[in-house]
């Protein structure tokens, strides 16, 4: 459900620029199937022309315990229970949802879109919204504009993408960089956007595009961006993205999960 061609294009470009450097995307297929299923999986991967060299087949046991050993930067699964287990183990993780209609994606530029609160950042601000309302949230953000937000579960993955981007920048390939990142947040730029941008700056992270929607639906913006994957902590944003053709991934982290379950 995730288009790997853009990942493989990034790897090919990195190999051209840095032939002796192994810092590239490395895909590991993890499954709790038995090893006997391996031949069928290998045949399927070869049929689709995918470059996946590493398998982890756990014979009915959860693969989550192996994520640290594999130095996993991001774990994606359709199994929400395993994703929750990975998040609780401190590993960036999200539950994948396919799009409800086919959309053409770029094969030459990997585009990754992130929500802000409870994804890149902690859920500190969302707690204020849920418990005290929007007016208190706006007041809180303005008072704390110069205090960086704490990091969220996918901050490290954004950082990893940034490291790869800088490899292209170092070779004067900024304009032709095959990785592009997007912040797509329900925050308003005027009332609560400054803290987000200052937090990224304090971390030494760049985001290519920041879209502050002030509560407007995210789906139509994502149609324009056409990201290969969009991360959000709230299912109604995931569902809105799905309907309009975006592959979305739910990050089960923060106060929104408590309200969703209740």
Task: DSSP letter for 191, please.
Answer: I
d(CA 179, CA 10) in angstroms, rounded, equals 7
At 153 the three-state DSSP class reads coil
Q: What's the DSSP call for residue 149? A: P
Q: Which residues of 65-91 are buried (b: 16+ CB within 10 A; e: fewer)?
A: eebeeeebbbbbbeeeebbbbbbeeeb
Torsional sign, CA 207, 163, 249, 107: positive
Per the annotation, the verdict on 102 as an active-site residue is: no
CB 154 within 8 A of CB 142: no
Choosing from 20, 21, 107, 115, the catalytic residue is 115
Copy the structure tokens of residue 206.
């760049």
Structure tokens at 233: 């902590």
Cα–Cα distance for residue pair 206/201, rounded to 1 Å: 7
Q: Which residues are catalytic?
A: 115
């Amino acid at each position: 459900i995730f288009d790997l061609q853009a990942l493989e294009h990034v790897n090919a470009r990195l190999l051209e620029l840095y032939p002796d450097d192994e810092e590239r995307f490395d895909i590991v297929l993890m499954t709790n199937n038995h090893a006997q299923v391996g031949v069928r999986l290998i045949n399927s991967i070869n049929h689709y022309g995918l470059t996946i060299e590493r398998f982890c087949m756990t014979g009915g046991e959860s693969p989550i315990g192996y994520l640290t050993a594999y130095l996993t930067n991001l774990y994606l699964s359709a199994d929400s229970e395993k994703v929750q287990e990975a998040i609780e183990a401190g590993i960036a993780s999200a539950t994948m949802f396919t799009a409800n209609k086919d959309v053409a994606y770029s094969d030459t530029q990997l585009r990754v879109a992130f929500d802000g609160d409870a994804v890149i950042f902690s859920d500190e601000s969302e707690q204020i919204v849920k418990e005290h309302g929007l007016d208190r949230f706006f007041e809180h953000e303005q008072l704390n504009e110069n205090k960086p937000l704490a990091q969220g579960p996918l901050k490290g993955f954004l950082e990893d993408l940034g490291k790869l981007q800088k490899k292209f920048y170092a070779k004067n390939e900024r304009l032709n960089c095959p990785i592009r990142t997007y912040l797509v947040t329900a925050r308003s730029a005027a009332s609560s956007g400054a803290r987000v941008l200052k937090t990224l700056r304090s971390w030494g992270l760049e985001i290519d595009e920041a879209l502050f929607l002030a509560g407007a639906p995210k789906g139509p913006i994502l149609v324009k961006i056409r990201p290969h994957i969009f991360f959000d902590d709230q299912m109604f944003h995931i569902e809105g993205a799905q309907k309009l053709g975006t592959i979305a991934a739910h990050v089960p982290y923060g106060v929104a999960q408590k309200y969703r379950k209740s």
